[in-house]
Copies of this chain bind each other. A is one copy, B any other.
Amino acid sequence: VKNEKRVTIWEVAKLANVSAGTVSRFLNGIVLKPSTEKRVREAISQTGYQKNITARTLRTGHSKSIGIILPEWKSYYSMSVIEAFESVVFPKGYALIVSSYSDFSEQLSNMLLRNIDGVLCIPPSGIDDVARAVIKECGEKGVPAVIINEYFERCEADFVMIDNAGSSMRAVEYGIHQGHTDIAIINGLQTDYVSRERHHGYREALNLYDLGITDEYEKYGLYSAEGGYAAGIELLSLNKPPTAIFITNCAMAIGFFRAARELKVSIPEDVLVIAYDFDTRYEFISPNIPYVEQPLGEMGLQAAELLLRRIAGDNRKYPQNIQLKTRLIINKNMSDTVSLSSINENHELF
C-alpha cells in the first residue's frame, strides 16, 4: 500500500543548494545565515519534508520515547497516572510505548531493543517481582526508571509515591474523631511495602489515642474484591464487630460492600467505612464513604518531570523517593449534591 518514497534531507539540500549537514543543523535549531535559512525553509515546505525519527535515533542513540510497564490496562489508577504523565512528556516530543502483557520482562526487553530513553513502571500492588526486574534490567542498560507507589532500598531507580503511613494514620484518626473506638483494618499482605506502611499508620493512630490493638480486627488479604469480601464476612460475623473499618484498597472495599449487602449491614449506619482511592461506585453505595485520595495526577506529573531530568543526565539526589501528600475526602452530602457540576466528571470512567 506504501505510496511515494518519503523525501529525505538530501532532496531538501539539493533544492536549497546547501549540504545535507546544513539542513540537519537547521532542523536542530542551529542558526544559519539568514539567506541560507530562507532557502532551506522554502525547500522544506516545497518538498513537504518530514524528519525520520528512526534515522535520528540510530545516529544519536536516543529515541525520544519512554516505555511504560503496567499491570493491567483496565485500571483507573494506572490510567490516571499515565494521563498526567503524558501531558508533560508529549509536548517535549516523546512517544509512549505502553505494555501490560503478562510477560512483562519480555515486554521490557522488547522496549529496550527499541532504544527507549526511560521507563515508567506502575507495578501491581503486592507483587515485588515486576518492579525489581524492571529496575535491574534498566540499570544494566543504563536506562533511567521511575517506579510508582513501591519502594526498595538501595535501588537504581527513583520512586514516586504517597505518604502511606501518614495518610493511613490520618484516616484512622478521622474515625476516632467520629467517636469510634473499635476500628478494624482490611489490608494487603504484610509482604508488601505499601501494606506495611499503611498498617503502621493504622497502629500509630490507635496508639496515639491510647486505643488497644485487637488482633481479630486486623485482616490481610490480596488486594482484590475477593480478599475484601472474605475479610468483610469475618469481621461482620464477630461477636463484637468493629464499628468502623479502614480498608486500604479500592477493590477490597468493593468486596467488602458486597459482603455488607449480603449480611444486610448498612453503611455508614452500622459500620463506618473509610476507604482508599476514589471509586465511581461509592456514590451509589452510600452517601458517606470517606476515602484517602491519592493525588494520581500529581504523581504522574512528578514522575514525568523527574524522569525527564534523569534522561537529560541530571542525577542530583539520585536515587530519589518522592512522597506526596494525600487528602482525606469527606463528602457527607455527596448524594444530596444535585448540581452535576459539583461532581468531578474527571472521575468518570466510561
Binding site for B on A (CB under 8 A): 1-3, 50-55, 57-58, 61, 63, 65, 73-77, 79-80, 82-83, 86-87, 90, 93, 95-101, 107, 109-115, 140-144, 224-226, 229, 250-251, 254-255, 257-258, 261-262, 277, 279-281, 283-285, 310, 313, 315, 335, 338, 340, 343, 345-346, 348-350
Contact = CB atoms under 8 A, between A and B. Distances in A.
A83 to B, nearest CB: 4
12 contacts: A3-B140, A50-B112, A50-B113, A52-B58, A53-B114, A53-B115, A54-B63, A90-B99, A257-B284, A281-B283, A281-B284, A284-B284
A350 B225 CA distance: 9
Contacts of A346: 74
A114 B99 contact: no
Closest 9 CB pairs of A and B: A250-B350, A2-B142, A73-B79, A3-B142, A284-B284, A73-B83, A98-B98, A53-B113, A74-B79
B80 A90 contact: no
B73 A279 contact: no
A255 to B, nearest CB: 7
Given A3-B140, A142-B2, A142-B3, A97 B349 contact: no
A336 to B, nearest CB: 9
A206 B66 CA distance: 52
A348 B79 contact: no
Nearest to A114: B53
B76 A350 contact: yes
Given A142-B2, A251-B350, A226 B54 contact: no
A75 B349 contact: yes
B98 A114 contact: no
A142 B3 CA distance: 5
Contacts of A55: 58
Nearest to A261: B335
Contacts of A76: 74, 349-350
Select the residue from A79, A115, A335 with max chain B CB neighbours within 10 A. A79
A251 B348 contact: yes
A86 B74 contact: no
A200 to B, nearest CB: 23
Contact of A80 (B74, B224, B258): B74
A90 B101 contact: yes
Given A54-B115, A87-B101, A142 B95 contact: no
Contacts of A97: 65, 95-98
Nearest to A228: B340
Contacts of A258: 340, 343
Contacts of A349: 74-76, 280, 349
A346 to B, nearest CB: 8
A86 B113 contact: no
Contacts of A54: 54, 57-58, 63, 114-115
Nearest to A143: B1
A74 to B, nearest CB: 5
A236 to B, nearest CB: 14
A34 to B, nearest CB: 28
A251 B70 CA distance: 26
Contacts of A277: 350
Contacts of A345: 224-226
